[in-house]
Amino acid sequence: MYLVFLNILLRILSIHICQKEDKIVYVQVSETIMDEQTRKREFRPFEKIKDFYPRIIITNDTLNYSQNGIIHMNIIDFLLSDII
């Protein structure tokens, strides 16, 4: 079973916290981050989080925009993964 805590507000966007047993993952969902402005907006809240839990942005994009320890995943890849 997954617990999802919605909306840690970081002034700009909300982030979802997913927990399964002892695993915790921060998740942000966006249709696309291909546009540089959108990508900056989606990554910014994660850069303010100072712990070491995985931070994932899920989109429809097939290009990988992972950066600074923040994982970008295509929705299909995320659903097929065992990340949480």
Helix (H, G, I), strand (E, B) or coil at 42: helix
- What does the pLDDT read at residue 1? 44
Q: Are 10 and 45 in contact (CB under 8 A)?
A: yes
- Residue scoring higher pLDDT (36 or 11): 36
Q: Taking 90 as the threshold, does the pLDDT of residue 40 lie above it?
A: yes
Domain boundaries, the chain: 3-80
Structure-token match 């839990």, residue found: 53
Residue 45 pLDDT grade (very low, low, confident, very high; cuts 50, 70, 90) = confident
In the chain, the N- to C-terminal Cα span, in Å, equals 10
